């Protein structure tokens, strides 16, 4: 359960931060993770396009995670790989591998709000969510889909975010989000993400099998279907450097 | 962990080139159709630590018998260990950070018939050992076997006048294309900086030319491949929306010892006009201290380009650029654009325009070769 400060009532800001810290603590220690991802994009006319992606993640003590994302489809971008060394408040280090030219290109990463592969997910939505990236405020308790949640508002602390704030419905049992609302730079509701079919791995880590984002302004949506989660597979920093990026398959 | 088992992927493409002006030589054609294919066979084992890659390439060209060609782009065994990687076979290696030219990219020979921008390369035989340390990666190369540059033939456009006769290349080394070349490179990332320092000793991939005669007594140019030493530096600083880039080389053994540099920046505006699209601005200064006697047209030129990335589901993007000579009248314009169609098709448009070409410029024989090209590729 939550720690309470003895002697004075917790402010909403303190409670929000405490929930974020607890959620982070419960999700730490998986060392490394691999998963397969199918991304389904749909526009307002109902046109569908698909991407197949494999992801690898490495926890880094005292810093953001390292991530490697490899594209299997569409076939013309097969072999394109994206390496990121994320940091909480300073810009991430990011490299792109372009298979046609066999070129590793370091790219500017100040743009976290840009769409990832044409989808409704921004880079900042998909990179590791460190506690220091936001300030928090607890709003209320709420029940959604029969589950008890904390409703927390969070404000990006890093520069170049595309959002003024987000509202997260955090499941009280799993300490994982069931729903996230994103508010753009004009503070209008931009998109809503829902997380479904959570499953617990190695007795501890909760991962959603399906994540769906609807952009209310463009009426475009992206569905992420995650599968084949594997943890503690023996990845090392050597699997997340420019040499491994060049031979990523 | 890589995808398991054997993998087959690749593309088949049809290309149509239309030349806007009449050719300088009667035999050259106004339009050109060609098809190409590049399948890729991949197999990994030992938990992905060992892999085999085979990438053959074939193009069949309507008009130019030199452009019809087959090449093995890759036939490599790769073994990855904790602090070293070994790659043996035919491979392609890319070095560099700039966009308009690739000065430091020396390992592979240019497959010039493919594209006038020189970015297509022939497979290079090599033994490459990479030593990976905290202070950077050292790449050691033994390059046994030399590939000669491909040049358009008699009926091809975008070629020199007179044409280059690839049957009678001249080598400085008595071992000719069996000469073993060497290269070493140190590369590292330090915070915002990516740096590479390299040295190459061996037969220059860029030939000079000697006047000659073909079997019928017609004037031709013979490629002259000389032994060179080239030291190079490539540097990129990534600061927020800015990328600062530099490539510099010093080459000796091919006429006078010379320096050449390419330096510039790339700045990106993200989400322009409240859309998901990005607009990047690229500017580079190209310099060769041989000046008038430079073999390249880019002795003192400015490149300016705009890269538009729509960030849409069809990955629509375009790169529009111009290279302008600061001392001569020559202007080179280029437009490249591409878009995915459906799931497996890709349409690419390319336009190259050679304007007000100075008669002293190496590009002078291309002055009537402005073209528009469409390529439709099927990816499997």
Interchain proximity A242–B313, CB inside 8 Å: no
Instruction: Name which CATH class applies to A14-246.
Output: mainly beta
Mean pLDDT of chain A: 91
Q: Which of A96-100, A112-116, B306-310 is predicted least confidently? A: A112-116
Is B48 touching A (CB cutoff 8 A)? yes
With tokens 């400060």, the residue in question is A5
For the cut 50, the answer to whether the pLDDT of residue B2 exceeds it is: no
- How far CA B319 is from CA of B95, B195, B213, B338, in Å, comes to 21, 26, 41, 9
- pLDDT-based confidence at residue A6 (cuts at 50, 70, 90): low
Classify residue B262: in a domain, yes or no. yes
Residue B30 CA to residue B50 CA, distance in Å, equals 48
Residue B161 CA to residue B366 CA, distance in Å, equals 9
Is B82 touching A (CB cutoff 8 A)? yes
B-chain residue closest to A186, CA distance: B274
Interchain proximity B9–A75, CB inside 8 Å: yes
B110 Cβ contact list (under 8 Å, min separation 6):
B118, B120, B121, B122, B149, B150, B205
What is the biggest distance separating any 2 CA atoms in chain A, rounded to whole angstroms?
63
Residue B305 CA to residue B307 CA, distance in Å, equals 7
Q: Burial of A94 by CB count in 10 Å (0-12 exposed, 13-18 middle, 19+ buried)?
A: buried
A-chain residue closest to B121, CA distance: A101
- Helix or strand run (H / E) with residue B17: strand B6-19
Q: Each residue of B102-160: pLDDT tens digit?
A: 999 999 999 999 999 999 999 999 999 999 999 999 999 999 999 999 999 989 999 99
**Of the partner residues A102, A106, A248, the one whose CB lies closest to the CB of residue B94:** A102
**Of the partner residues B85, B240, B314, the one whose CB lies closest to the CB of residue A110:** B240
Interchain proximity B270–A114, CB inside 8 Å: yes
B222 vs chain A: nearest CA distance in angstroms?
29
Mapped onto helix, strand or coil, the DSSP state of residue A210 is strand
> What is the structure's pLDDT at B369?
93
B217 Cβ contact list (under 8 Å, min separation 6):
none
B-chain residue closest to A111, CA distance: B270
- As a residue count, chain B comes to 380
B240 vs chain A: nearest CA distance in angstroms?
5
- pLDDT-based confidence at residue A112 (cuts at 50, 70, 90): confident
What is the biggest distance separating any 2 CA atoms in chain B, rounded to whole angstroms?
64
For the cut 70, the answer to whether the pLDDT of residue A189 exceeds it is: yes
Query: Burial code of A127-162, b = ≥16 C-beta within 10 A, e = fewer?
Result: bbbbbebbebbbbeeeeeeeeebbbbbbbbebebbb
Q: Each residue of B263-289: pLDDT tens digit?
A: 999 999 988 888 889 999 999 999 999
pTM: 0.91
A114 vs chain B: nearest CA distance in angstroms?
7
Average pLDDT for residues A152-170, to the nearest whole number? 92
Q: Each residue of B189-221: pLDDT tens digit?
A: 999 999 999 999 999 999 999 999 988 899 999
**Of the partner residues B9, B82, B314, the one whose CB lies closest to the CB of residue A238:** B82
Q: Provide Rg for chain A, Cα atoms.
A: 18
Mean pLDDT of chain B: 94
**Of the partner residues B189, B241, B344, the one whose CB lies closest to the CB of residue A108:** B241
A242 vs chain B: nearest CA distance in angstroms?
9
In this structure, how many other beta carbons lie within 10 angstroms of the beta carbon of residue A3? 9
A-chain residue closest to B195, CA distance: A106
- Residues in B closer than 8 angstroms to A43, CB to CB, are 313
Classify residue B1: in a domain, yes or no. no
Classify residue B328: in a domain, yes or no. yes
Interchain proximity A102–B93, CB inside 8 Å: yes
Interchain proximity A78–B83, CB inside 8 Å: no
Average pLDDT for residues A219-230, to the nearest whole number? 96
- Residues in A closer than 8 angstroms to B51, CB to CB, are 247, 249
> What is the structure's pLDDT at A10?
87
- Residues in B closer than 8 angstroms to A115, CB to CB, are 276, 311
Domain ranges for chain A: 14-246
- pLDDT-based confidence at residue A169 (cuts at 50, 70, 90): very high
Q: How many domains would you assign to chain B?
A: 1
> What is the structure's pLDDT at B214?
87
**Inter-residue contact A24 to A17 (CB < 8 Å):** no
B-chain residue closest to A93, CA distance: B192
- Residues in B closer than 8 angstroms to A107, CB to CB, are 238, 243
- Residues in B closer than 8 angstroms to A47, CB to CB, are 313
B-chain residue closest to A68, CA distance: B1
- Half-sphere exposure in the Cβ direction for B156 (13 Å, CA): 23
A-chain residue closest to B98, CA distance: A105
Is B308 touching A (CB cutoff 8 A)? no
Residue B251 CA to residue B262 CA, distance in Å, equals 15
Interchain proximity A233–B1, CB inside 8 Å: yes
- Residues in A closer than 8 angstroms to B132, CB to CB, are 238, 241, 243
Classify residue B177: in a domain, yes or no. yes
Structural domain boundaries, residue B169 = 6-379
Local structure of residue A111 (DSSP, 8 states): -
Q: What CATH number does the domain containing B300 carry?
A: 2.40.160.10
**Of the partner residues A75, A91, A243, the one whose CB lies closest to the CB of residue B132:** A243
For the cut 60, the answer to whether the pLDDT of residue B4 exceeds it is: no
With tokens 């491994």, the residue in question is A244
- pLDDT-based confidence at residue B292 (cuts at 50, 70, 90): confident
Residue B181 CA to residue B253 CA, distance in Å, equals 14
A34 vs chain B: nearest CA distance in angstroms?
9
Is B276 touching A (CB cutoff 8 A)? yes
Sign of CA dihedral B304, B310, B311, B313: negative
In this structure, how many other beta carbons lie within 10 angstroms of the beta carbon of residue A84? 24
A46 vs chain B: nearest CA distance in angstroms?
13
Residue B130 CA to residue A243 CA, distance in Å, equals 9
- Inter-chain Cβ pairs, chain A and chain B, closer than 8 A: 111
| Torsion region of B90: left, alpha or beta (phi above 0 gives left; psi -120 to 50 gives alpha) | beta
**Inter-residue contact B327 to B348 (CB < 8 Å):** no
- pLDDT-based confidence at residue A159 (cuts at 50, 70, 90): confident
A139 vs chain B: nearest CA distance in angstroms?
31
Residue of A35, A108, A235 to mutate when probing chain B, most B C-beta within 10 A: A108
Q: Which of residues 140-159 of B touch A (CB under 8 A)?
A: none
Average pLDDT for residues A103-112, to the nearest whole number? 84
A109 vs chain B: nearest CA distance in angstroms?
7
- Helix or strand run (H / E) with residue A45: none
For the cut 60, the answer to whether the pLDDT of residue A3 exceeds it is: no
């Amino acid at each position: 359960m939550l720690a309470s400060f003895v002697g004075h009532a917790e402010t909403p800001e303190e409670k929000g931060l405490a929930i974020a810290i607890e959620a982070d603590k419960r999700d730490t220690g998986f060392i490394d993770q691999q998963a397969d991802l199918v991304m389904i994009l749909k526009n307002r006319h109902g046109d569908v396009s698909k991407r197949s992606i494999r992801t690898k993640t490495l926890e880094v003590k005292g810093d953001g995670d390292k991530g490697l994302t490899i594209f299997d489809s569409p076939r013309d971008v097969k072999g394109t790989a994206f390496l990121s060394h994320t940091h909480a408040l300073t810009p991430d280090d990011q490299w792109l591998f372009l298979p046609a030219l066999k070129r590793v290109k370091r790219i500017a990463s100040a743009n976290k709000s840009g769409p990832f592969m044409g989808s409704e997910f921004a880079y900042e939505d998909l990179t590791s969510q460190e506690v220091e990236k936001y300030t928090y405020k607890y709003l209320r308790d709420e029940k959604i889909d029969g589950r008890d949640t904390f409703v927390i508002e969070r404000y990006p602390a890093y520069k170049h975010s595309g959002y003024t704030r987000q509202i997260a419905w955090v499941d009280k049992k799993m300490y994982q989000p069931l729903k996230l609302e994103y508010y753009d730079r004009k503070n209008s509701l931009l998109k809503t993400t829902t997380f479904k079919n959570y499953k617990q791995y190695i007795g501890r880590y909760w991962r959603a099998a399906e994540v769906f984002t609807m952009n209310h302004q463009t009426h475009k949506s992206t569905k992420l279907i995650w599968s084949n989660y594997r943890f503690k597979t023996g990845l090392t920093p050597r699997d997340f450097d420019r040499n491994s990026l060049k031979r990523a398959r | 962990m890589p995808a398991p088992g054997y993998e087959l992927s690749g593309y088949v493409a049809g290309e149509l080139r239309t030349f806007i002006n009449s050719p300088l030589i009667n035999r050259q054609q106004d339009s050109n159709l060609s098809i190409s294919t590049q399948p890729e066979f991949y197999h990994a084992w030992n938990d992905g630590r060992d892999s085999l890659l085979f990438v053959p390439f074939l193009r069949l060209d309507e008009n130019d018998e030199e452009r019809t060609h087959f090449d093995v782009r890759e036939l490599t065994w790769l073994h990855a260990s904790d602090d070293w990687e070994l790659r043996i076979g035919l491979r392609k290696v890319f070095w560099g950070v700039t966009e308009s030219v690739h000065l430091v990219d020396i390992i592979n020979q240019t497959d010039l018939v493919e594209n006038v921008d020189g970015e297509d390369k022939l497979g290079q035989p090599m033994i490459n050992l990479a030593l990976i340390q905290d202070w950077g990666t050292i790449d050691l190369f033994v390059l046994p076997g030399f590939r000669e540059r491909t040049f358009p033939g008699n009926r091809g456009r975008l070629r020199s006048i007179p044409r280059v006769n690839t049957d009678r290349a001249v080598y400085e080394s008595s071992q000719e294309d069996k000469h073993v070349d060497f290269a070493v490179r140190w590369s590292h990332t330090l915070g915002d900086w990516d740096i590479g320092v390299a040295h190459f000793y061996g037969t220059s991939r860029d030939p000079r030319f000697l006047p000659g005669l073909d079997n019928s007594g017609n004037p031709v140019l013979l490629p002259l491949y000389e032994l060179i030493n080239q030291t190079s530096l490539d540097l990129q600083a990534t600061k927020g929306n800015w990328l600062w880039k530099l490539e510099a080389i010093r080459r000796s053994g091919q006429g006078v010892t010379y320096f050449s540099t390419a330096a510039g920046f790339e700045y990106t505006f993200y989400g322009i006009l409240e859309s998901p699209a990005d607009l990047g601005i690229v500017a580079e200064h190209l310099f060769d201290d041989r000046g008038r006697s430079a073999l390249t047209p880019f002795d003192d030129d400015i490149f300016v380009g705009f890269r538009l990335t729509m960030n849409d589901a069809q990955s629509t993007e375009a790169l529009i650029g111009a290279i302008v000579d600061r001392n001569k009248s020559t202007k080179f314009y280029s437009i490249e654009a591409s878009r995915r169609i459906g799931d497996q098709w890709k349409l690419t448009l390319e336009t190259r325009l050679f304007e007000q070409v100075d008669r002293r410029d190496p590009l002078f024989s291309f002055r009537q070769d402005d073209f528009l090209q469409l390529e439709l590729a099927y990816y499997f």
